[in-house]
Amino acid sequence: MFFKLRKAILNGNHAALTPLEDMSAGRGQAGEGPPPNCQKVFIERDYSEGTMVKFQTQFPTELESRLDRPLFEYTINQLNNYFAEAERASCSTYCEGCLACLTGYLIYICTETHYEKCLRKVAKFISEQNDRVYKPRGLLLTNPVMRGLRLIEISVLDRPAS
């Protein structure tokens, strides 16, 4: 019995659950990401103002029955604000760079960069949005850092991939 169960787990033959049931069973949590067999909606980067990290605010039609447009726009605008803050040059970021050069970048063993602090804010915001807005609607917002800052991925947990 044990070997059959082990073989089924290794082959991925667990009970046929929907991705939403997978999430509630503890699989596909924040560290692992969404289940691979669900529909995904992608929000592309907006390069109209240059190469800074900014995402398009155009509402995807796949989410019309699931999510209100103002909630979606708030999420994207807030993420865009966090990334704008991360890339903003200030006196403190210049001093941080000079101090890094003077210490041979050993200062970064002890402290975080301004950019890393902003990325931590992004991760916290996405986690809060998932808990309050997206997961109750059967959606999961993936941190853009996990996708190389190329796009935002929204997984529709109860729809199979097409």
Range of the domain at 112: 36-160
| pLDDT above 70 (res 140) | yes
Positive or negative: CA dihedral 151, 157, 159, 161: positive
Domain total of the chain: 1
pLDDT at 93 over 60: yes
Is residue 106 a part of any domain in this protein? yes
More confident residue, 69 or 19: 69
Asked whether residue 155 is assigned to any structural domain, the reply reads yes
16 is a domain residue: no
- Given a cut of 50, is residue 109 above it in pLDDT? yes
Q: How far is CA 127 from CA 10, 46, 114, in A?
A: 30, 23, 20
Is 112 inside a domain boundary?
Answer: yes
Dist CA 65 CA 119 (whole Å): 30
Cα 40 from Cα 62, distance rounded (Å): 9
- Position 5 in a domain: no
Q: What is the pLDDT of residue 157?
A: 86
Residue 33: the pLDDT is 67
Give the pTM.
Answer: 0.76
Does residue 143 contact residue 115 with C-beta atoms inside 8 Å? Answer: no
Higher model confidence: residue 6 or residue 136? Answer: 136
